[in-house]
Each structure stands twice: as structure tokens, then as C-alpha cells.
Homo-oligomer: A and B are copies of this chain.
């Protein structure tokens, strides 16, 4: 079968690991598969390049920053291709420009517009393994644009779809998707499969297994994605569309995130246009808002709370006096030390008892709930940051996630 394998920065962090990746790819080819490889920058290269940029300019130009950052993946593809050739396997490293991964000139946050995979197909047909730079795209004018942090996952999924690959394999330093973070819950169990929707909720709620845009894209085209280890032979977790009947109405995993800040705009007049007045200035400042909750309040006044990451809080607070004035709110409050914990599973929203059991479990553990938000397949509580790990462990126990499915 034709498969697209993606290797992240940890998997290509040094020469030994690069040779290990090359060995894995060759083993796979010898077993009869066709392999296309997508790689990230080595180890902490991207962060080091950002530091280098900041040492030259306090506010690096986004186009030039993309020009700089894209060198990280270009280095990786060259090295992985060299390692494959050193083992006797023909291979060819390709930049996004060479691989035909097109985007618009949204520097730092490009989206893949289309993949023109002729070159990649030709290399495959010639018996060469195409090694493709993740995280980057090219415009029609040959400008280099990066696709945002973690976007190498998206590159791999987009290529797999363009090539009609049987599946995409996300090869990582973990062995799959777990019921909770194994560093926090020692009894956490690897899931053998999971639906796109569940994966999305786990990822957006802080489980850093796979980039959300990649899962969304795979979901739209119903492309199966295997999350597996780049280090050891492991069965991994298959992300796909089907949810078997007996797996519905069950909590599949616990997600958490300890980096949450909250702002509450107090006593806002409850009239149309208020939300736009609050969130447009934040969006224009590049601040990403996560959960939004409007609390019932006295009379025609309401409290509106939203969460954001802690790093954006200072910038958001600088805008809040103006925002409060524009919506007629007398004041806002901010809390920087929050986290969130979520239970995720298809059907849990409509099934009875899950919410109650979650709230009871947190109450029993003495954890106060600041905010609640829900989706079709998720229930999230915002709590104090320093209680997040306790909450994850308590919920993992309460929903008996350590038991084999």
C-alpha cells in the first residue's frame, strides 16, 4: 500500500535518530509498501531560529521569519534523504516549493490551498522515496510561507489525500493516543482506535498528540491516520470515521491543559452586537479566544467570560478598558492561574449521568469549578491550574479508563 509517514522533530533530533528513521522506512519498503515521508525540523531547531530572529529584531518581519524558519525542515529533508541513500535506498528531499504544496501569502499561518503532486508521483514511480519538508508551503510567486506550529501533521495528511494514499502514519515519541497523559496517570491506557471527533476534542483540549487542522482535514476526506511510535514497533492508535456501537456512550479519554487564563466582562447590557464588540478587537490583535461562556445575571445585564492562553493575557488586558467602555461594562476581572480538564467520548453529551459524575468527582476531590463548557462529545471544566493533575487522575479513576475496552 501507499502510505505517508510523518516524523516529528524529536524523531529526527540527531544523526542517530535520522539513521533510525531511514532504517524504518527501508524496512517498510522491503515489506512491499510505497512510502512518502514528511519531516519536521530537528529537535528544537525552530525555537532556536526564533531566538536568532529575536536577537536581530525585536519584532521580526513575518515574511522574513518564514524564510528563516523554513530552513529547519529543509535541513531535515536533506539529511533524511542522505541517510536513506547511505543505506542504499534512492531518495530525494523536497522543499514545499518542489513538492507542490501551495498556500497563500499568510506568513506564519498559511493554509494549504492545493497540492500539485506530480513531482512526488514521478519520484515514487522512479523508485525514489520522496522526503518532504513539513510546516511550509509556497505561493504561486515562489514565496515561502510557514503553516503554523505543528502544521507538519497537516502537510502529511494533505499529501496523503492528494496522492490517494491508503493512510497517513504520524510517527511520534509516544506509542499512540492514551486515555489520559501517562505522565500524570500511570494507569492510562493506549486506545486502539478513536474517531476523528474524539481526537479533535482531545487535541483541542490539550492532548498534544496530533495537530487539530490535520485531524479535521483527515476527517473531511475520511483518511485513516495511525498515530504510532517512531522508536519502537507498536500497534498505535488508528484515527478513523467509524465508531463501533459498543464504544459509543463511553468516556474515551481525559484531556487537560494547564495554560488557561480567564477574563470576565462584568454586567454587560444584554443586547445584539455586544459579542462582536468584545471579540473583534481581540481577534484583530491576534489573540485567540477559546471557551466563551455568557452567564445569566441580574436583569438585562450579563457576565461574559472567555478563556485564552496565559501568554496572551497581558495583551488582552491592555485592550480591556476600551472594550468595556464600548460595550457599557463597568469593569472586568482577570484570572491567570487556571487550567481545564475534559472528558471526551462520542455520545456522552446525550447520555445521562456523565456530567453529574464528572462534577461529583471534582467536588469529592475538593476542586472548584470556575466555568463549564460542552460540545457534542465533550464536557470541560475550567479549574485552578494547580489542581489539574489531581482532576485528571480522579476522573480517570471515576470513569474506569484503566480497564481494557
Q: Which residues of A contact B (CB under 8 A)?
A: 15, 18-19, 49, 52-53, 55-61, 63-65, 67-68, 70-71, 74-75, 77-79, 81-83, 85-86, 92-93, 95, 97-98, 142-144
Contacts and interface: CB of A to CB of B under 8 A. Distances in A.
Given A52-B75, A68-B74, 4 more contacts: A53-B79, A64-B79, A68-B79, A71-B75
B75 A92 contact: no
A64 B86 contact: no
Given A64-B78, A93-B64, A142-B97, A83 B56 contact: yes
Contacts of A79: 52-53, 56, 64, 68
Nearest to A52: B79
Contacts of A98: 142-143
A81 B93 contact: no
Contacts of A92: 63-64
B68 A85 contact: no
Nearest to A144: B95
Contact of A86 (B57, B77, B83, B93): B57
A352 B74 CA distance: 58
A64 to B, nearest CB: 4
A15 B52 contact: yes
Contacts of A63: 92-93
Contacts of A70: 74
B60 A82 contact: yes
A116 to B, nearest CB: 12
Contacts of A74: 67-68, 70-71, 74
Contacts of A143: 98
B67 A15 contact: no
Contacts of A75: 49, 52, 68, 71
Contact of A64 (B53, B81, B142): B81
Task: Return the 9 tightest CB-CB contacts between A and B, nearest first.
Answer: A57-B86, A68-B78, A71-B71, A15-B55, A67-B78, A57-B82, A64-B78, A64-B81, A64-B82
Contacts of A59: 86
Contacts of A97: 97, 142
25 contacts: A15-B56, A19-B56, A53-B78, A53-B82, A56-B79, A56-B82, A57-B86, A60-B82, A61-B81, A61-B82, A64-B78, A64-B92, A65-B82, A67-B74, A67-B78, A68-B74, A68-B75, A68-B78, A68-B82, A70-B74, A71-B71, A71-B75, A97-B97, A97-B142, A98-B143
